[in-house]
Structure 1
Amino acid sequence: MHQLEISDLITAVDPRSGLRLPVRRAEVIEQLQASGDGRAAGIVAGLPADQDGVLDPDAVDRLLISVHTELQRLSEELRIGERLVHVLGPLLAAVRATTRQSGPYCLVDVGCGLGCLVRWLAATNALGADVELIGVDLDASLVGEAERLAHAEGLNCRFIHGNAFDMPKAATVYVSTGVLHHFRGAALTEFFKAQATSPAQAFCHFDIAATRLAPIGAWIYHRARMRHPLGRHDGVVSARRAHSDETLLRAADVPGIRPLLYEPRGTVNPFCTTLRPVIGVRPPLEEPLRRALGRAARRLVGPEYLVEAAR
């Protein structure tokens, strides 16, 4: 049985209206105990609730903002922004070379949290002035804090509370970091299908590499850097829930998209690889992307890699 992340359970949103829904502490504790995670149940038992047992939404918001702030520091220490640009730069170069659109190109960060990726891209202008940067998240408190930080930092980017695939303006490229492992089974394929049926030209989703060392590394790193038990717990569970290369390539293999995996597990040093992306491009973009990547294109594999690896 898969472990559950506490942060996924202590907030709930109506998928149609986007309105916050009440969450009963006892129900969350029951879910966690049923999954065999007594430690997580104990963490939730310590969260404040009203007389009806409903978790205090303001306290939950403050906690999640605090945890995401610590995650931003981890992202900075691991130089996640630079790693993303290493792939996103060539991907956008391929888009520019093959589409008739002259810009702006719209990059949408799905599940942006505090928007650390979008804000870093805006601060560094790493992708060019013709790229519009938008972060989208279902959590209104995180989006509000992302907007506050972007305004305080004087950055040219936007944040939207809602569903990234229901925006009036179409994305050119969808991106995310640490989101894919939240989707299980058919929901993962539906996530990729939503992008394939949109006008988007490509997607690039970074998530934890499912190596044998990932949970151990996550435990050490989060123990050293995260102060709240929730952040420590969810960091390790995220690594345990990471999808295999095979799962990602099969789920991303949807009509209209050529799925590609950068740095598959069998070709990298597990001590060095923490996150790596699954990429989806419209078929005409694959060759321009490989050219733009140069020598690094050798790290890019498609579904045929699964057949070769099985031999």
Structure 2
Amino acid sequence: MDRLEISDLIVAFDPHDGRRLPVRRAEVVEQLRAAGDARAARIVAGLPAGPDGVLEPAAVDRLLIGVHTELQRLSEELRIGRRLVHLLGPLLTAIRTTGVRGPYRLVDVGCGLGYLIRWLAATGALGPDVELVGVDLDAALVGEADRLARAEGLSCRFVHGDAFALPEAATVYVSTGVLHHFSEPALADFFRAQGASPALAFCHYDIAATGLAPVGAWVFHRARMRHPLGRHDGVASARRAHSDEALLRAAAAAGMRALLYEPRRAANPFCTTLRPVLAVRPPLEAPLRAALGRASRRLLGDEHFTPAAA
């Protein structure tokens, strides 16, 4: 059985207005025990709760900010920013060549502490005509991301709320480490929302579903994460990763040209940690491939995957 992630269970938000909802510790513990994850149940049982049994929001916020801070160190080691620029640079070049005028708005969905947006702002890697926006449903994480950006003097912004309900439309949606949080039907809805928006493309990086992924996640998180929650969720994330075929099936719901870059069959499993699924409006595919040059050979659509492999 795939493990649940503790961080998904100890915070809850109203889907309509983003208001934080109370979470009862005993209910989360029981849910984890029912899933057969006694270790995770013990971790949650040790978290602070009030007399009514509701997990203390301030304590949960401190914990999640600490865990996300450690995740940022992993992002630095895995060179997440440079990996995204490797594709986002040519993608924005393709958009510019089609005559679409800037500024272009890049929206990071589920930005957490905003590492990617802050890295892009600090390096200027995508150019001065790209507006950088991070969005997350967790107000505490967004608040910390905004604090860090102001302390670093960066030109970017962070928004608490729904990334698909912003008053200004995105040009490109991105994310890192978000897709595995969705079931496949919910993932299709996630992509469908982007296809229904005015966005021209999306590019989402997530854990590659290889046999080595859980082992690699255990090693990385054991070495870099101090809190048991971070270590647990890191391995659970790898076990929940979607296959290449599942990602392409879900991304097709956007009604755009869905592609995988360096899918499992085309990469060394010992080196593959993250890989992106992306989709572009049909007129953008040829300019994107031209901008990528020889690297465009690593970009594969569903025609390269047989039904038997699905």
TM-score (norm 1): 0.98
Q: Distance in 2 between matches of 1:256 and 1:60?
A: 38
Matched, 1:285 2:284: yes
Distance 1:309 1:82, change over 3 A: farther
| 1:155 aligned residue | 154
| 2:39 aligned residue | 39
| 1:140 aligned residue | 139
Matched, 1:107 2:93: no
Q: Distance in 2 between matches of 1:17 and 1:200?
A: 23
Q: Distance in 2 between matches of 1:167 and 1:85?
A: 24
| 2:170 aligned residue | 171
| 1:82 aligned residue | 82
| 1:28 aligned residue | 28
Whichever residue aligns with residue 149 of structure 2, its letter is A
Whichever residue aligns with residue 66 of structure 2, its letter is S
CA contact (8 A) 2:109 2:163 kept: yes
Matched, 1:217 2:205: no
Q: Distance in 1 between matches of 2:284 and 2:46?
A: 50
For residues 254-295 of structure 1, the C-alpha deviation after alignment (integer angstroms, 9 at most, x for no partner) is 253000000010111111110010001001111111111111
| 2:299 aligned residue | 300
For residues 75-117 of structure 1, the C-alpha deviation after alignment (integer angstroms, 9 at most, x for no partner) is 001111101100110111111111x332100000000000000
Residue 305 of structure 1: how far off its partner (Å):
1.2
| 1:199 aligned residue | 198
CA contact (8 A) 1:256 1:283 kept: no
CA contact (8 A) 1:7 1:234 kept: yes
Whichever residue aligns with residue 48 of structure 1, its letter is P
For residues 120-162 of structure 1, the C-alpha deviation after alignment (integer angstroms, 9 at most, x for no partner) is 0000000000000000000000000000000000000000000
For residues 13-67 of structure 1, the C-alpha deviation after alignment (integer angstroms, 9 at most, x for no partner) is 1111111100000000011111110000000000000011000000000000000
Deviation larger for 16-25 or 135-144: 16-25
For residues 180-227 of structure 1, the C-alpha deviation after alignment (integer angstroms, 9 at most, x for no partner) is 000103111000000000000000000000000000000011001100
Q: Distance in 1 between matches of 2:262 and 2:211?
A: 16
How does 1:39-78 map onto structure 2 within 5 Å?
39-78=39-78
Q: Distance in 1 between matches of 2:309 and 2:200?
A: 31
User: What SS does the aligned partner of 1:254 have?
Assistant: helix
| 2:270 aligned residue | 271
User: What SS does the aligned partner of 2:276 have?
Assistant: strand
Distance 1:186 1:310, change over 3 A: closer
Distance 1:25 1:308, change over 3 A: closer
Q: Distance in 2 between matches of 1:213 and 1:222?
A: 14
User: What SS does the aligned partner of 1:120 have?
Assistant: helix
Structure 1 unmatched runs, 5+: none
Residue 308 of structure 1: how far off its partner (Å):
8.3
**Misfit runs of 4+, over 4 Å:** 308-311
Distance 1:308 1:268, change over 3 A: farther
What is the root-mean-square deviation in Å for CA atoms of aligned residues? 1.2
Residue 306 of structure 1: how far off its partner (Å):
1.0
Distance 1:266 1:308, change over 3 A: farther
